[in-house]
């Protein structure tokens, strides 16, 4: 098991397959992009599968989420998913993507055994999309969502980040759009994880604000809190259900006490928290011949020292040097 000193057990592994992305969402990276990791520093597909196998077979990982950067940019994605879903015990395998290219790949991913997909969609307006993501790709994202649904991936989840003065008037239209298509929408509070270090608490649209906007248009009731478990989203039934909407108040309603996540970056570093400032280097260990037992021990030690909380509200809070795209959201 991967247990920390507060008794939390990590069972949900987020694996970044690349730090590259084909969008430039302003809450994540600057319009000119970032200096990407050099290819030799990226884990190979075999190295990723080796670590995921150790996680699942030796360390109690039950869920594996592939993310990035943009995971659809990783050529071996279908192969990696196929090899992950073939593991025993079979973990839940999901993907977080911006949806660009998903219209081509959704069927092969479903055939590879992918269980679920989360697609990021912050706006339904083409001009706003261009302003926010610095690319004219809204139509591709919407087509990707449709293809995921048509391929039988369920539930199709949608992640939205609202930014003041840019897309914060779209909470209601986004929810309406998702309800009509049976996608499950989750709003995520913007976190201080942008490469430009431009996050300001006062500019963030809070979970409270999101709920006020939604409640003006929809009848929302708390979904059974027991069901939430370690899930970051607070879930609400829309018009009594079964349709639901989630709000992830990472900053104003932190859920660190129930956190069951651990992250593996594209260059093979274990991070015990999104906001961790320390990492544990499994890539160097692997490349210098470490045995599975040695990797197990390093991984356990990395999780053992996880802090009680992300500390965003602490005056000593330091934003991690890696932005979200290089950590894996
Ligand atoms: N490229 C993929 C995508 O767009 O979903 C996967 C990686 S992206 C980093 C994963 C999720 O993190 C997206 O839903 C994105 O909106 C979210 N995200 C990125 N930066 C964020 C920030 N500063 N605060 C909150 N969410 C953020």
The DSSP secondary structure of 250-268, one letter per residue, reads: TTTS--GGG--EEEE-TTS
Asked if residue 100 lies in contact with residue 68, where contact means CB atoms within 8 angstroms, the answer is: no
Can you give the length of the chain in residues? 329
Residue with the smallest CA separation from ligand 1 atom 12 is: 329
- Mean pLDDT of the chain, nearest integer: 96
Find the 105 Cα to ligand 1 centroid distance in Å: 20
Confidence class of residue 314 from pLDDT cuts 50, 70 and 90? confident
What are 34-70's pLDDT values in tens digits? 999 999 999 999 999 999 999 999 999 999 999 999 9
Ligand 1 pocket, residue 123 CB under 6 Å: no
Tens digit of pLDDT for each residue in 107-124?
999 999 999 999 999 999
Q: Is 48 helix (H, G, I), strand (E, B) or coil?
A: helix
Please determine, for residue 296, whether its predicted confidence score (pLDDT) is greater than 80: yes
The verdict on the CB of residue 233 being under 6 Å from ligand 1 is no
Nearest CA to ligand 1 atom 25: 190
Mean per-residue pLDDT for 170-190? Answer: 98
Strand arrangement of the beta sheet that strand 116-120 belongs to: 220-222, 234-238, 244-248, 184-188, 156-161, 116-120, 92-97, 63-67, 12-16, 261-264, 269-271, 280-281
Cis amide leading into 286 (omega within 30): no
Contact 186, 211 (CB under 8 A): no
Residue 227 predicted with pLDDT over 80? no
Tokens 């956190």, located at residue: 259
């Amino acid at each position: 098991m991967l247990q920390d000193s507060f008794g939390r057990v990590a069972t949900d592994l987020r694996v970044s397959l690349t730090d590259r992305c084909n969008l430039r969402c302003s809450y994540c990276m600057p319009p000119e992009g970032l200096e990407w990791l050099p290819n030799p520093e990226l884990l190979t597909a075999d190295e990723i599968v080796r670590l995921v196998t150790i996680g699942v077979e030796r360390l109690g990982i039950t869920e594996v989420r592939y993310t990035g950067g943009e995971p659809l940019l990783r050529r071996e994605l279908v192969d990696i998913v196929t090899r992950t879903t073939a593991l025993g015990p079979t973990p839940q395998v999901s993907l977080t993507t911006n949806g660009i290219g998903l219209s081509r790949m959704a069927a092969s991913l479903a055939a590879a055994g992918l269980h679920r997909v989360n697609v990021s969609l912050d706006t339904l307006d083409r001009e706003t999309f261009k302003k926010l993501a610095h690319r004219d790709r809204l139509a591709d994202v919407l087509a990707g969502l449709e293809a995921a649904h048509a391929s039988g991936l369920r539930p199709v989840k949608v992640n939205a980040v609202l930014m003041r003065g840019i897309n914060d008037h779209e909470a209601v239209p986004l929810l309406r759009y998702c309800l009509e298509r049976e996608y499950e929408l989750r709003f995520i509070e913007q976190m201080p994880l942008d490469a430009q270090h431009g996050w300001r608490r006062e500019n963030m649209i809070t979970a409270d604000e999101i709920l006020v906007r939604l409640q003006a248009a929809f009848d929302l009731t708390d979904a059974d809190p027991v069901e939430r478990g370690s899930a970051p989203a607070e879930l609400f039934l829309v018009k009594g259900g079964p349709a639901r909407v989630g709000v992830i108040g990472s900053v104003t309603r932190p859920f660190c006490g129930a956190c069951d996540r651990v992250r593996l970056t594209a260059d093979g570093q274990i991070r015990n928290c999104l906001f961790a400032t320390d990492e544990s280097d499994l890539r160097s260990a692997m490349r210098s011949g470490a045995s599975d037992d040695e990797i197990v021990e390093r991984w356990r030690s990395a999780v053992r020292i996880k802090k009680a909380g992300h500390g965003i509200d602490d005056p000593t809070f330091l934003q991690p040097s890696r932005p979200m795209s290089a950590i894996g959201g």
